[in-house]
Structures are given as C-alpha cells and as structure tokens.
Structure 1
C-alpha cells in the first residue's frame, strides 16, 4: 500500500492514491468506513474510479480537492478546504478513515497538520515535527505545500481556540504520533 501510515490506530490512516487491488485490501484490513480524497478535479479518471469503488464496497467517499488557488489571488480557498478536511478527520462518525492525496505527501500532510492543530490542541511546531519525522516536508513550486500552514494556523486555528472551542472528543486524549509509512510488503 503506497505511502501508508497509521496516524491514530483504529481511527486515522493516511497515504497515497491507491490502485484498485491495494485499496480493496486496505478497506477490508482496516475496516475503513470513510475515504477522504484530497487531490484531482471531480472528472479526473482516478476520482471517477475511486468514487465507483466506494459505491461498490459500501464505504463513504468524500472528495475535497486541495488545489493551488494562489494564482487566482485567493489562497483562502486552500484554507477553506483544509478546514473542511480537518473537520472530516475530527468527526468520530467517519472512523475509521483513510485520507490521501496523489502521492501521500503534501496535501495529506497539510490536512494532518490542520487536524492536529485545530482539533487536538497541538502547536504548529509539534504538528510539523510529527510530519518531519514520518514523511518529511517537501516544498513544491506547482501546488500547495506545508508553507501554507503558518497562515492557516494564524488565521484559522488561533481564532478557533480563542472562541473556546474544545478539542474533538475523539482526540481529547493525547493521540500517538503517526507511525512511519509501512513498506508495501508488510500489508
């Protein structure tokens, strides 16, 4: 299973876009109830195929494509999508959930940081350190990456905390840090 990692055992798993057979195996083995897809437009062949697989296997499929909107002058769209995706991860009704982007690196890491900071009460530094230890931080010139997280933290997380919003009940205890990606041969 490509770029697969356990974020919170029994609750949150992350990785890359999977071919059909590994995805079927992942859904069965981890009893995945929800898949959150973070890449590609709705008409992309990978999106169409995964949506059809969700209908076939009976899991909930949510598509929140995090795309680079900076060229349009509105980076807030990325923050809106990060907010939506983090809320999906924080909702116990979705567990266990597998969230992924195309390569399992940038968008999945951004959503994990958004979830950890907004719903688990982690600092940006702690959440970023978790990603650095497990996946590494990658800068890209053609799409969103972790550099966006500073503005997300300042504009979305800190005001959320000032409103006194409690961490999600499912994550009120300290979750274990994400494990390193598992080699494909282990699964």
Structure 2
C-alpha cells in the first residue's frame, strides 16, 4: 500500500525560498564595505586596497564562518536521516540517505586546503601517496562502506521508480540540487577571487538543500513524545556539530594558522598547549615569536603553557621586553630573527592575529622581501577580514622609515599613508621624542 501523501506545509515552497535567501549573505560580503571611520583615530583616512571587501577574504579562509555553517547544517541532516532509520529501519533508502549524510558531514568537517603539506583527513587523502598507508586504507574502507550501503539501500536499482518515489515525496528537486552543488564544489574552475569563497558557499547551499530533503523525508514524531523527540534531535545535532568542530580542530589545531612563506614563516592566533602538541610534529617550529606584551595585565592565560611547551621542545621563544613597552626595539629584533634561516620555521602570533601579527608580517614583507606597501596592505586586509586599524597607518609611518629608509621614501603608498594621517599626531612618536629629550638632558 502506498504511503499517504504529505499535505503539510513542509511540502510547500519554503525550502526554495530559504535557499534563495541564503544567497543574500554571499552577495552582501562581496559588495558591502565596512565603515572607514576608526574611533581610536577618527581623523585618519582609510581605504580598502583589495578588489572586494576585506571580510569576504576572511570568510574564504578554511574553517571560518562558512565552513562552520556547513558543519552545522550537515549535522542536522545526519540526525534527521538517523531518525528516519530508527523509525523505519526496513526501508533501505533511509540507510542510503544516512550513509550519504555521514559522508557529507565528514566532508564539511574536513575542509581544505591545508598548509605545509599536512594531508588532513579529507577524501582526497585516500589518493595522496605521502599519507601513511594505514590512514589511507582506513579512509578508503569508510568510503567503500558508505558506497556499499548506498548501493544496497537503493535496490532493486530501478532508477525510474526511485525518481518517481522522490518526486512523490517532494524531494526530487532538492536532492538533485544538492547533488549538483556538492559536485560543483569539487571543481577548481568555480574558484574565483576571493579564492575559496564561492566553493564554500556552494557547499553550504548544497547541504541546505540536502537537509531540507531529509526534513521532508523524516517520519513524523507523533503523540505526547513529539516535543521530547524534536528536542532530542536538536540536542543530538548540536552535539554532532561539536564533533565536527573537533575534527576540524585536529586538522587545524592552532587558531587562524596561515602559511606566509612555506617552511619559513607562519602566522597564527595565541596557541594552546594541546594545539602546539598536535601542530609541532607537522611543522617542526624552531622559533616562536609572541608579539603581545605578556608582561601586562592583559596577558594570555595560555602564556605559561606556551613557555612550558617551548622549554620542553627546545624551541626558541621571543616576546616583547618590559623595558621596551612600545616595541621600538623588539620589532626590528624579531624581524631580524625571522629572517635568519637558522631559526626557520618561525611561528609568529599575538592573541587574535587581527592587529599586531598581520601588521608585523606587513613590515617583514616591506623591509625584507621588498614588497610595495600597496601589496602589503592587501595581504593584511585578507588576514584581518577588515581594514587595518588607523593605528597601523601610524605604525607604518613611524617604523617603515626606520626599517628601510630608501624604500620608504620612494613608496607611493607610504606617502599616501602620511597624507591619511595628516593632522593626527602619533602618540608613540611623541613619547619617543620626549624620551630622546630626557636622554639628551641627562648627557
């Protein structure tokens, strides 16, 4: 006997409306620029140097907001598919849907690319000859198991009947869209500036379509247990989301880790001891430069652990000295340390990798690699996900002439920076001038 047709609102157009609305944030982040006013130094002019708003480049980073959304949506789809198997275990297609949902969840939790040759746990790892054979075999076994469940669950393999059944249940279009988008996400040809941005959005949209299909196919929770079952599914989905984030953390155990120069220089947020334990065998850092003034009350709670890890692993650890509170000496010293091949690979960080670290990398690019300041600011915007603060304009006006006088004098963007800061005195430059006066008086 055929199952009764579902005439509930779940069969309406709302999934398609929601999918269309989900495209709006993607368009917003490549069209809308943030306010140029910095409340710290409101008179300093700022402009964007990239083609698109800086936030779009940050979202394109593996593991940032877009990937987090994909993990959450795919975890919801997986829980809905599992609920269907619990209520109707004899129906093979439900097990096929569960296997596909599990594969989609794993792919969402293992986004690429990864840096420094670390192979990660994604599906491409199976074909990477540099990956240990046991790991490749384990991933291949999981993939073959999922494929077997899908094939067996779809028996008797009557394509026409399967399509008719999906259409009758109101999920044919959603499943087709999900399949197309998931395949398209794997194609390199869709990746355009900001690189990584559109493929990640495509996968989110594919997961949304799949999750809506799983919702339409999910058996109804009836009776007095309805609210309890819905609550349990939500809790289980959130729990699975944490599992996905844990898988992601294993792949990228240090927050906002970026490969600046392969094998030489890496940028990140404040690492934890556990994160360093996972990352060190992969990267083999010889030197860590902590740019935050940890001698202040704003020190990180992870600072003692970082010191301990460095001691235990023979890593040279450098940070700002209390007798150099404005960093006038520590900046050129740490830049010199990072430029010495004997210290490579070098890990540079502050607390959030939003201000000090990207600005420091910009000074390294300018002073030691000869980058024009225009290119430097483009990269900083991508690291930060927003315009550099006005304090960076003042910092570069103060430090770049000290680090590379001739290039600073000839760089057109630095001349522009001076014009941007016209009328805004640099408080640290004034402090340096007062210190110089006091020293001259003592002499």
Normalising by the residue count of structure 1, what TM-score does the alignment of the two structures yield?
A: 0.70
Change in CA separation of 1:123 and 1:65 when aligned onto 2, cut-off 3 Å = farther
Q: Match for residue 400 of structure 2? A: 153
Q: Match for residue 179 of structure 1? A: none
Which of 384, 400, 404 aligns to 1:135? It is 384
Task: Note the C-alpha offset of 1:124.
Answer: 1.7
Task: Note the C-alpha offset of 1:130.
Answer: 1.4
Give yes or no for contact 1:124–1:150 (8 Å, CA) kept in 2.
no
Which of 12, 25, 37 aligns to 2:290? It is 37
After superposition, residues 12-91 of structure 1 pair within 5 angstroms as 12-42=265-295, 44=299, 45-64=301-320, 77-91=326-340
Task: Note the C-alpha offset of 1:48.
Answer: 2.5
From the two aligned structures, give the one with the greater helix fraction: 2
Normalising by the residue count of structure 2, what TM-score does the alignment of the two structures yield?
A: 0.31
Please tell me whether residue 116 in structure 1 is matched to residue 365 in structure 2. Answer: yes
Task: Note the C-alpha offset of 1:159.
Answer: 4.7
Which of 332, 342, 352 aligns to 1:93? It is 342
Task: Note the C-alpha offset of 1:106.
Answer: 0.8
Give yes or no for contact 1:36–1:100 (8 Å, CA) kept in 2.
yes
- Higher RCO (Cα < 8 Å, 6 or more apart): 1
Task: Note the C-alpha offset of 1:47.
Answer: 2.6
Tell me the SS of whatever aligns to 2:308: helix
Change in CA separation of 1:87 and 1:146 when aligned onto 2, cut-off 3 Å = farther
Please tell me whether residue 102 in structure 1 is matched to residue 351 in structure 2. Answer: yes
From the two aligned structures, give the one with the greater strand fraction: 1
Task: Note the C-alpha offset of 1:155.
Answer: 3.5
Q: Deviations over 1:68-108 (max 9, x none)?
A: 95xxxxxxx33432212211211111101111001012111
Change in CA separation of 1:27 and 1:7 when aligned onto 2, cut-off 3 Å = same
CA–CA separation in structure 1 for the residues paired with 2:291 and 2:383: 19
Q: How many residues align?
A: 152
Task: Note the C-alpha offset of 1:40.
Answer: 3.2
Q: Deviations over 1:144-173 (max 9, x none)?
A: 6454123222333225889xxxxxxxxxxx
Tell me the SS of whatever aligns to 1:54: helix
Highest Rg: 1 or 2?
2
CA–CA separation in structure 1 for the residues paired with 2:362 and 2:369: 10
Q: CA RMSD for the aligned pairs? A: 2.8
Q: Match for residue 261 of structure 2? A: 8
Consecutive unaligned residues of structure 2, counting only runs of 5 or more, are: 1-253, 410-443
CA–CA separation in structure 1 for the residues paired with 2:272 and 2:393: 26
CA–CA separation in structure 1 for the residues paired with 2:393 and 2:267: 16
Q: Match for residue 74 of structure 1? A: none
CA–CA separation in structure 1 for the residues paired with 2:354 and 2:337: 19
Task: Note the C-alpha offset of 1:33.
Answer: 0.9
